Structure 1
Amino acid sequence: MRNVSKVFSNGTLALKDMSLDVVRGEFISLLGPSGCGKSTALRIIAGLGGASTGTIDWPSSKINSRGLPEGDVGFVFQEPTLMPWQTVLGNVYLPLRLAGISKSAARERIMDALASVGLEDFADAYPRELSGGMKMRVSIARALVTKPKLLLMDEPFAALDEITRQKLNDDVLRLWKQSGVTVIFVTHSVFESAYLSNRIVVMKARPGQVFADMPLENSGERDADFRTSEAYRAATEKVSRALHDAIHAGGGTH
């Protein structure tokens, strides 16, 4: 992102001169107060809304009509956004159907994506038969079925209970390590960001800008033991201080 600003039609300045470099294979969390433009930045990266000024530059020569690299971006929304009339398999098939791939040709990829989130036995179930956590797993499988290089996740676990949230955090980390996908993850949670990320970008209040860009030394295994470790405590303290400073910042970056 290069000097990206976003002004909505009602005159609200959501982002101002936001610049961010993303390195292949990173797990980046965007953290900041409500209304600071985290989700707006994510949607601009995804091509779901245009920037008012500034540019998004991609390391790819295959750019489609929306300015995105072909087949390289997956998106997980805050809600599962599943089609209630479709089975789990039908929901995960959607992006491949839109790409013109027949269901028979896509079936193996769909089942692989479902297996990656532990739902291969629920392919014929309908969303109404699933728990909240299972619905979000379907949404993640749908985003992964195209084998994207970049996975964008917009507070996907905010509405879930803590136990389900921690389990899905572990699942996302496992998928990230297995696939090599680059992840940009929007969250309000200091604890979630410190657990998941190897880099946290703290944004200041609207208009959104990068306030602090913080690499984390989370090279070890992140599991139940890590959640009670000194390294995790120190990381959450460091991130909490940065978020506090960002909320009270009058302007500028550091």
Structure 2
Amino acid sequence: MSTSPAADNRSGTPLVSIRRVSKQFANGTIAVRDVDLDLGAGEFVSLLGPSGCGKSTLLRMIAGLGSPSTGTIDWPGSGQEGQGKAERDLGFVFQDPTLMPWANALSNVMLPLVLKHVPRREAEGRAAEMLALVGLKGFETSYPRELSGGMKMRVSIARALVMRPKILLMDEPFAALDEITRHRLNDDLLNLWWRERFTAVFVTHSVFESVYLSQRIVVMAARPGRVMADLDVSAPYPRDELFRTSPEYAHLCRLASGKLKEAIGA
């Protein structure tokens, strides 16, 4: 059984290469210090750590939504130089779905295509296809006020993926959802990752979520944010409820929890 939708690329050219990246804000706070990290094509990587450890700051710098104070973020695996030129290869899912309340689900997902001047008929077809992929076929004309929290997050994910990005960045997208919905969306996200073959970088506070989803867990310490451990999760895909209740899952959760405890005390 293959363990990932793409061959492990960490021994080759990374998609994203982060070297000695630090971020200091105007008030003097050092959010991130000397982070070195490679992201391979097709990987699923979680950034795990306590509040204030710079996970979201690092994610935003990868996305080009902020610049490092020092260090570099390069895209050698994209065939392009510099993070700005690689923006079209990105999808970003925020903690809040950030949907347009006056637009239906189809129009919300179409937005990136409209901004790129994709012909309307093509944009509608691609948006409808993506809504079907996230399990919302039949809800194309529904407005955000008519959707549950989980359904709104599905629309947000569909919008982020409609441009077929090489990398999907997710900033705690399921944190506000109930456990049952969160588990279901974890499964759906893995199915999408397996099918679409994008690189996934997922910010979370949850040890259990990070182990269930990831091939790698990057554990970060706070004040300043820095990488304390880079753990391999060697369990094969696809993963399901049997994995969640397996001794292997429990062992991996204990390992990640121990590294997180070390990071919090560092």
TM-score band, normalised by shorter chain? over 0.9
In the other structure, the counterpart of 1:190 is 207
Following the alignment from structure 1 to structure 2, what is the Cα–Cα distance between the partners of residues 21 and 141?
26
- Sequence identity (%): 62
1:40: Cα distance to partner? 0.3
Following TM superposition, the consecutive aligned residue runs of length 4 or more in structure 1 with deviations greater than 6 angstroms are none
Asked if 2 retains the 8 angstrom alpha-carbon contact of 1:78 and 1:156, the reply is yes
1:71: Cα distance to partner? 2.1
Q: Aligned ranges for residues 1-254 of structure 1 at < 5 Å? A: 1-59=18-76, 60-62=78-80, 67-69=84-86, 71-249=88-266
Following the alignment from structure 1 to structure 2, what is the Cα–Cα distance between the partners of residues 248 and 39?
20
Q: How far does the alpha carbon of each residue in 1:152-172 deviate from its partner, in whole angstroms, 9 at most, with x for none?
A: 000000000000000000000
In the other structure, the counterpart of 2:8 is none
Following the alignment from structure 2 to structure 1, what is the Cα–Cα distance between the partners of residues 226 and 143?
41
Following the alignment from structure 2 to structure 1, what is the Cα–Cα distance between the partners of residues 257 and 231?
12
1:100: Cα distance to partner? 1.3
1:218: Cα distance to partner? 1.5
**Distance verdict in 2 for CA 1:246–1:70, change over 3 Å:** closer
1:50: Cα distance to partner? 0.9
Following the alignment from structure 2 to structure 1, what is the Cα–Cα distance between the partners of residues 260 and 207?
8
**TM-score when normalising by structure 2:** 0.91
Q: How far does the alpha carbon of each residue in 1:32-53 deviate from its partner, in whole angstroms, 9 at most, with x for none?
A: 0100000000000001111111
1:221: Cα distance to partner? 3.1
Q: How far does the alpha carbon of each residue in 1:13-38 deviate from its partner, in whole angstroms, 9 at most, with x for none?
A: 00011110111111000000100000
Q: Unpaired runs of 5+ in structure 1?
A: 250-254
Q: Unpaired runs of 5+ in structure 2?
A: 1-17
Following the alignment from structure 2 to structure 1, what is the Cα–Cα distance between the partners of residues 251 and 32?
30
Q: How far does the alpha carbon of each residue in 1:44-98 deviate from its partner, in whole angstroms, 9 at most, with x for none?
A: 000111111111010234458x614152110000000000001101100111111
Q: How far does the alpha carbon of each residue in 1:125-152 deviate from its partner, in whole angstroms, 9 at most, with x for none?
A: 1000000000000000000100001000
Following the alignment from structure 1 to structure 2, what is the Cα–Cα distance between the partners of residues 39 and 217?
25
**TM-score when normalising by structure 1:** 0.95
* 2-11 vs 154-163, which moves further: 2-11
- SS of residue paired to 1:201: strand
Following the alignment from structure 1 to structure 2, what is the Cα–Cα distance between the partners of residues 181 and 61?
16
Give the AA of the match of 2:172: E
- How many residue pairs are counted as aligned between the two chains? 248
RMSD: 1.2
1:102: Cα distance to partner? 2.7
Following the alignment from structure 2 to structure 1, what is the Cα–Cα distance between the partners of residues 51 and 117?
38
1:3: Cα distance to partner? 0.6
